[in-house]
Chains A and B, each alone.
Chain A
Amino acid sequence: MVPYIIRRLLIAIPVLFGVMVVNFIIINMAPGNPVDMYVDPNSSPELLEMRKEQLGLNDPLYIQFFHWLGNLAQGNLGYSFSTYEPVSKMIFERIGPTFELMGLALLAGLIIALPIGILSAVKQYSKLDYLATGTSFFGISIPHFFLGLGLIYIFAVQLQILPAGGMSTLGSEDNFLDKVQHLILPVIVLAVGISGQYVRYVRASLLEVLGQDYLRTARAKGLKEFVVTNKHALKNALIPIITIIGMEIPFLLGGAVITEQIFQWPGMGQLTIQSIMSRDYPTLMALNLLTAFMVLFANLLTDIVYSFVDPRIKYK
Chain B
Amino acid sequence: MKPLLEVNQIQIAFESDSEEVISVEEVSFSVNPGETIGIVGESGCGKSVTSLSIMGLLGKNGKVNKGQILFGEEDLTKVSNQRIRDIRGNEISMIFQEPMTSLNPVFTIGNQMIEGIKLHLKMNPKAAKEYAVEMLKKVGIPRANEIMKEYPHALSGGMRQRVMIAMALACKPKLLIADEPTTALDVTIQAQILELMKTLQKESNTAIMLITHDLGVIAETADRVIVMYAGQVVEEADVFTLFKEPKHPYTQGLMASIPHLEYESEQRLASIPGSVPSIKHMPAGCRFHTRCPYATERCEQEQPRLKDVQAGHKVRCWLTEEDGLRTNSDQPKEEIFT
**Which positions in A face B, CB cutoff 8 Å?**
212-214, 216-224, 232, 235-236, 239, 309-312
B41 on the A face (CB < 8 A): no
Which stretch, B96-104, B186-194, B217-225, B245-253, touches the partner chain A?
B96-104
**In this assembly, does B116 line the interface, its C-beta being within 8 Å of a C-beta of chain A?**
yes
The answer to whether B106 and A311 have CB atoms under 8 Å apart is: yes
Interface string of B147-175 (1 = CB under 8 A from A): 00001010000000000100110000000
Q: Are A221 and B106 in contact (CB under 8 A)?
A: no
Q: Chain A residues with Cβ under 8 A from B210's Cβ? A: none
Contacting pair B115 A236 (CB below 8 A): no
Given contacts A214-B103, A235-B106, contact A222 B89 (CB under 8 A): yes
Q: Is the CB of B102 within 8 A of A222?
A: no
Also in contact, A217 and B102, with CB within 8 A (given A223-B119, A232-B107, A235-B107): yes
Cβ A217 vs Cβ B164 within 8 A? yes
* Segment with Cβ contacts to A, from B63-71, B80-88, B233-241, B326-334: B80-88
Cβ–Cβ contact B87 & A222, under 8 A: yes
Provide the residues of chain A in CB contact with B212, threshold 8 Å: none
Is the contact region of chain A dominated by helix, strand, or loop, or is it mixed? helix
Q: What number of A-B contacts does a CB cutoff of 8 Å give? A: 71
A222's partner among B88, B98, B108 (CB-CB below 8 A) is: B88
Query: Counting CB contacts under 8 A, is B57 at the interface?
Result: yes
Tell me if B151 and A312 are in contact (CB < 8 A).
Answer: yes
Given A221-B89, A222-B88, A236-B106 in contact, is the A213-B101 Cβ separation under 8 Å?
Answer: yes
- Chain A positions within 8 Å of B153 at CB level: 311-312
Q: Is B85 within 8 A of A214, CB to CB?
A: no
Question: A232–B106 Cα gap in the complex (Å)?
Answer: 8
> Is the CB–CB distance between A232 and B104 below 8 Å?
yes
**Looking at the complex, which one of A219, A239, A310 makes contact with B88 (CB distance below 8 Å)?**
A219
Residue B12 at the chain A interface, CB threshold 8 Å: no
B101 engages A212 (CB within 8 Å): yes
Q: Is the CB of B106 within 8 A of A223?
A: no
Per-position 1/0 for B226-263, Cβ under 8 A of A? 00000000000000000000000000000000000000
Q: Which listed residue, B90, B103, B106, B108, touches A217 by the CB 8 Å rule?
A: B103
Which of B98, B101, B105, B115 contacts A221 (CB under 8 A)? B115
- Tell me which residues across on chain B come within 8 A of A224, comparing CB atoms: 85
The answer on a CB contact under 8 Å between A236 and B105 is yes
22 A-B residue pairs with Cβ-Cβ distance under 8 Å, sorted by A, are A213-B102, A214-B102, A216-B96, A217-B96, A217-B103, A217-B104, A217-B167, A218-B104, A219-B57, A220-B55, A221-B115, A222-B86, A222-B87, A222-B88, A222-B89, A222-B116, A223-B116, A223-B119, A235-B104, A235-B106, A236-B106, A312-B105
Interface residues on B, range: 20 to 34
Tell whether B198 is near chain A: CB-to-CB under 8 Å: no
In the bound complex, residues from chain B placing their C-beta under 8 Å from that of A212 are 101
Q: Is the CB of A311 within 8 A of B88?
A: no
Least distance between A121 CB and chain B CB atoms (Å):
12
Query: Is there an interface contact between A236 and B88, defined as CB atoms closer than 8 Å?
Result: no
Measured between beta carbons, the chain A residues less than 8 angstroms from B101 are 212-214
Query: Do B85 and A216 touch (CB < 8 A)?
Result: no
Whether A220 touches B151, Cβ cut-off 8 Å, given contacts A232-B104, A309-B106, is no
A residues in contact with B86, CB < 8 Å: 222
Please name the 3 residue pairs, one residue from A and one from B, whose CB atoms are nearest each other, closest first.
A311-B151, A221-B89, A222-B88
Complex CA–CA separation, A310 to B106 (angstroms):
6
Query: Is the pair A213, B96 in contact by a Cβ cutoff of 8 Å?
Result: yes
Kindly list chain B residues whose C-beta atoms are within 8 Å of the C-beta of A311: 105-106, 108, 151, 153
B85 / chain A contacts, CB cutoff of 8 Å: 222-224
A91 to B267, CA, bound (A): 85
Least CB distance from A174 to B in Å reads 45
Query: How far apart are the CA atoms of A232 and B85 in the complex, in Å?
Result: 16
- Give complex CA distance A219, B120 in Å: 13
Q: Does B94 contact A (CB under 8 A)?
A: yes
Contact of B167 among A221, A232, A239, A312 (CB under 8 A): A221
Q: How far is the CB of B226 from chain A (nearest CB, A)?
A: 21
CA distance A224 to B115 in the complex (A): 11
Candidate in B103, B104, B105, B153 with the most chain A CB atoms within 10 angstroms: B104
Pair B104/A236 contact, Cβ less than 8 Å: yes
CB closest chain-A residue, reference B168: A220
Q: Which residues of A contact B94 (CB under 8 A)?
A: 220
B106 touching A220, Cβ below 8 Å: no
Find the A residue at minimum CB distance from B103. A214
Interface presence of B182 (CB below 8 A): no
Across the interface, which residues of A come within 8 angstroms of B106, CB to CB? 235-236, 239, 309-311
Contact across chains for A220 and B104 when beta carbons are under 8 A apart? no
Q: Which residues of B contact A217 (CB under 8 A)?
A: 96, 102-104, 112, 164, 167
Chain B, Cβ-Cβ closest to A311: B151
Which residues on the A side are within 8 Å of B90 (C-beta)? Answer: 222
Cα-based distance from A33 to B272 in the complex (angstroms): 84
Contacting residues of chain B (95-134) with chain A, CB-CB under 8 angstroms: 96, 98, 101-108, 112, 115-116, 119-120
Residue B50 at the A interface, CB < 8 A? Answer: no
Residue B93 interfacial (CB < 8 Å): yes
Give chain A residues whose Cβ lies under 8 Å from the Cβ of B93: 220
Chain B residue nearest to A212 (CB atoms) is: B101
B107 surroundings in chain A (CB, below 8 A): 232, 235
* Other contacts beyond A220-B93, A223-B85, A312-B153: 17, CB < 8 A: A213-B101, A214-B101, A214-B102, A217-B164, A220-B55, A220-B57, A222-B85, A222-B87, A222-B90, A222-B116, A223-B115, A223-B119, A235-B106, A235-B107, A311-B106, A311-B151, A312-B151
